[in-house]
Amino acid sequence: MDRRKLLIASAGLASMASTSSAFARFMGGAVLDHAVPGVGLTVSQPVRALKLYFDLGVVASLSRIRVEGPTGTTVPAGAPANDPADQQIVVVGFGHPLPPGTYSVSWSVVSINRRTTTGTFHFRVS
């Protein structure tokens, strides 16, 4: 592939990546701002809960968060709940601290204006 075609293809991929959150915002859906543990990060402290921070209020009772452990099995977790102080934060607690390994998070949330958005990310516990 010549350099010009490679640049055009790269620009197209970058545009599609940035468009997904813009599209969700246009459609009125909540966009994930950040998470604790952080998206793609490695943490060394025990993880007893997962917090997802969105740019819009979320109805936790209509949302789903699934965490898969290093072996691909679903980690037992409580139901998603809004942080009492902020409807833009959704919290999922675990029955015990997560052991070391890489975890995959899949989420589907319903915003306060009833739009659904989904996403996935990973984090690692060392």
pLDDT digits (tens, 9 = 90+) for 39-54: 999 999 999 999 999 9
User: What is the model's pLDDT at position 1?
Assistant: 53
- Would you say residue 16 has pLDDT above 90? no
User: What is the model's pLDDT at position 2?
Assistant: 52
Spatial separation of the C-alpha atoms in residues 125 and 20, rounded to whole Å: 28
Largest CA distance in the chain: 55
Dihedral-angle region of residue 75 (phi above 0 means left; psi in -120 to 50 means alpha; beta otherwise): beta
Question: In the chain, where are the structural domains located?
Answer: 26-125
Fold of 26-125: Immunoglobulin-like (2.60.40)
pLDDT digits (tens, 9 = 90+) for 81-98: 999 999 999 999 999 999
